[in-house]
Copies of this chain bind each other. A is one copy, B any other.
Amino acid sequence: MTRFALNQATTKHWPLPELAAGCAEAGVSFAGLWREDIQAYGVAEAAGLMRDHGLTVTTLCRSGFFQEAGWLDENRRAIDEAAGVGAPVLVLVSGGLPPGSRDIDAARAHVGDAIGELVPHARAAGVRLAIEPLHPMYASDRCVVSTLKQALDLAAPHPAEAVGVCLDTYHLWWDDDVWAQIARAGREDRIACFQVADWLTPLPAGVLVGRGLPGTGCVELRRFREAVDATGYAGPIEVEVFNEEVWARPGKEILHEAIAGVRDHVL
């Protein structure tokens, strides 16, 4: 279980100090953090809290949203926050179509341009950008990058140490091309993070908060982990679940279920 990472979103209502103490108590040494939370707590303070509990920050979630006004400054701030909190990876969710637009090709091209503009700042800060493909059900309003192939194509022009991809089982499980693309991601040294969540139906309204803890849904999680490991990746396995019913429970209880889910269904 040394590879287990808790993404903070999984225990949404757990205050950061309790999360840090709870992870330390459970023997967890990796945590992925969210911008809103470290902004509220203080970036330097969050870095200190993690350090004091022997926790390594895996990822900072998230920036991107390149269709929004002010995206360049906002993403630079996010890079600085990632560096400040000690996250080696900043996860990028591209954003959807601009208001009123139907031109998804143009939106996808803009994502490529935007990442190109961010790379120098990210390299200077020592932060790797991770392009995250989201499930196609988010293509219009949240992320026009819908497949791992698209994410890898967007990363391709840039050095691998500057731009990678974030693999999340929830978003990729339906894609029969994903196994070939995971192998490609390994060959091209692009795997910046590996997140696991399970797929549940029926989907809730808005489709944002219907993910399942590992083992509660229909995703072949172990097959994903084996495919990712087969590329040589040996980094954290990060549980990132958005689910109202999960969030209603105590953070410690969620953490233990997430650990058990990874042990029984991913490893």
Contacts and interface: CB of A to CB of B under 8 A. Distances in A.
Copies of this chain, how many? 2
Interface stretch (A78-86, A188-196, A197-205, A247-255): A197-205
A174 B136 contact: yes
Contact of A205 (B103, B203, B219): B203
A217 B96 CA distance: 13
A218 B104 CA distance: 9
Contacts of A150: 176
Q: Chain A's interface: helix, strand, loop or mixed, by majority?
A: loop
Interface in A132-166: 135-137, 139-141, 146-147, 150
A101 B137 contact: no
Contacts of A137: 135-137, 203, 207
A261 to B, nearest CB: 14
Contacts of A103: 220
Contact of A203 (B105, B203, B217, B218): B203
Nearest to A200: B140
A137 B175 CA distance: 11
A57 interface: no
Interface in A84-98: 97
Given A140-B201, A205-B205, A206-B203, A108 B218 contact: no
Nearest to A219: B102
Contacts of A218: 97, 101-102, 104, 140
B201 A204 contact: no
Interface centre among A136, A141, A150 (most CB of B within 10 A): A136
Interface centre among A173, A217, A218, A219 (most CB of B within 10 A): A218
Contacts of A146: 174-176
Interface string A210-238: 00000001111000000000000000000
Given A141-B201, A146-B174, A176-B150, A102 B220 contact: yes
| 5 shortest interchain CB distances as A-B pairs | A139-B174, A137-B137, A205-B205, A136-B174, A141-B201
11 contacts: A102-B220, A104-B173, A104-B174, A104-B218, A104-B220, A108-B176, A136-B136, A146-B174, A146-B175, A202-B205, A203-B203
